[in-house]
């Protein structure tokens, strides 16, 4: 497996030149576009990592899968479905115009900014600091890494410049989708996006999702199987922003990307994959990361279709 992954990094490295690091969050603009790492975890092959797979980066939109899981565990599927829909929007992750009519819950999904922000309100906790802590604790649990923590610099950078997310939050309030204090909800969301992980952490989380909430190494059931089914389905249809349809054809597995350059890919019943390469395409997905997943999917016949 290491040999295959090394070959993939070598073959995909030129695709870095097709993208640019995110700059709308100032701290993310400091990323080195030449960094590239891949980690895979499976029962038969164990953990394999090459390149910059131990480099830490913030989860950004990848954390939306964790927010969805936390909301499902805390409030159940009915309340989640009442707050956000499941259909792909076909629009950028931070778009405003989801419908020609009044905005309704079914117009947004958990993998776009508006949907994830709304779901933060369903997380249990007396304060939004407590809600965030429960998100962080769940991330640590799924990744098997108690050292996962917040990147304070990225958090402060997002909070200082995240005016589009503020606008989205007030739009949610304007249409009655959420009723809580906008700045408190946003603080939880900004903190969640700023959780710092590695490719190994993402691969471990994906591996748990691939095995329907169970850690097959320890046999521990970390969360309800039905929640894994729900999350994986939403990742398949909505996880790669408005490039999800193309990704379904070329790669064919549930996945979630983030503007940090990370991708978490779930191969049901087989494998978890974590990738980091911060040079992004126009849709906010890692250029080299997507190409790497295309090759890996082809070589190992990973597509679920």
Please write the tens of the pLDDT for every residue from 191-219: 999 999 999 999 999 999 999 999 988 99
What's the pLDDT at 104? Answer: 87
Cβ(57)–Cβ(70) below 8 Å: no
* Model pLDDT, residue 242: 84
Structure tokens at 272: 């978890």
Q: What is the CA radius of gyration of the chain?
A: 18
Give the closest residue to 74 by CA, choosing from 28, 108, 120: 120
What mean pLDDT, rounded, does the chain reach? 95
State which H helix or E strand residue 263 sits in.
strand 262-267
Distance CA 117, CA 176 (A): 14
Q: What tokens does 92 get?
A: 């950028």
Low-confidence ranges of the chain (pLDDT < 50): none
pTM value? 0.96
Q: How far is 153 from 155, CA to CA, in rounded Å?
A: 5
pLDDT the model gives residue 217: 85
Instruction: Say if CB 196 and CB 158 are below 8 A apart.
Output: no
Q: What is the pLDDT of residue 293?
A: 98
Residue entry with tokens 């911060």 = 278
Q: Which residues contact 34 (CB under 8 A, 6 or more apart)?
A: 16
The catalytic site residues sit at 61, 64, 189, 241, 259
Domains and their CATH numbers in the chain: 2-56+197-297 (3.40.710.10), 61-193 (3.40.710.10)
Cβ(50)–Cβ(5) below 8 Å: yes
Name residue 51's beta-bridge partners: 37
Instruction: Say what the pLDDT of residue 103 is.
Output: 84
Work out whether strand 57-58 and strand 149-150 pair parallel, antiparallel, or are unpaired.
unpaired
Long-range CB contacts (< 8 A, 24+ apart) of 171-177?
A: 171/96, 171/103, 171/114, 172/103, 172/114, 172/117, 172/118, 175/102, 175/103, 175/104, 177/83, 177/103, 177/104, 177/105, 177/108, 177/118
């Amino acid at each position: 497996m290491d040999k295959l992954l090394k070959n993939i990094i070598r073959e995909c490295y030129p695709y870095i030149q097709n993208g640019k690091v995110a700059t709308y969050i100032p701290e993310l603009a400091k990323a080195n576009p030449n960094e590239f790492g891949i980690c895979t975890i499976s029962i038969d092959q164990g953990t394999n990592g090459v390149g910059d797979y131990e480099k830490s980066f913030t989860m950004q939109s990848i954390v939306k899968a964790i927010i969805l899981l936390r909301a499902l565990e805390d409030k159940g599927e009915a309340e989640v479905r009442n707050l956000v829909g499941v259909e792909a929007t076909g629009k950028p992750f931070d778009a405003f115009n989801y419908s020609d009519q009044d905005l309704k819950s079914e117009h947004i999904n958990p993998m776009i900014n508006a949907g994830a922000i709304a779901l933060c309100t369903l997380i249990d906790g007396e304060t939004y600091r407590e809600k965030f802590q429960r998100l962080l604790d769940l991330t640590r649990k799924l990744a098997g890494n108690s050292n996962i923590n917040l990147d304070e610099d990225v958090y402060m950078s997002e909070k200082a410049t995240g005016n589009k997310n503020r606008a989205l939050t007030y739009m949610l309030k304007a249409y009655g989708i959420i009723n809580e204090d906008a700045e408190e909800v946003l603080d939880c969301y900004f903190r969640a996006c700023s959780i710092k992980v590695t490719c190994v952490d993402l691969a471990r989380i994906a591996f748990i999702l691939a095995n329907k909430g169970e850690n097959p190494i320890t046999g521990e059931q970390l969360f309800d199987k039905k929640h894994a089914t729900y999350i994986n389905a939403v990742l398949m249809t909505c996880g790669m922003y408005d490039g999800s349809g193309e990704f379904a054809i070329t790669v064919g597995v549930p996945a979630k990307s983030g503007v940090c350059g990370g991708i978490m890919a779930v191969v049901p019943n087989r494998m978890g994959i974590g990738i980091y390469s911060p040079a992004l395409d126009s849709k906010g997905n890692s250029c080299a990361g997507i190409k790497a997943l295309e090759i890996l999917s082809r070589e190992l016949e990973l597509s679920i279709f």
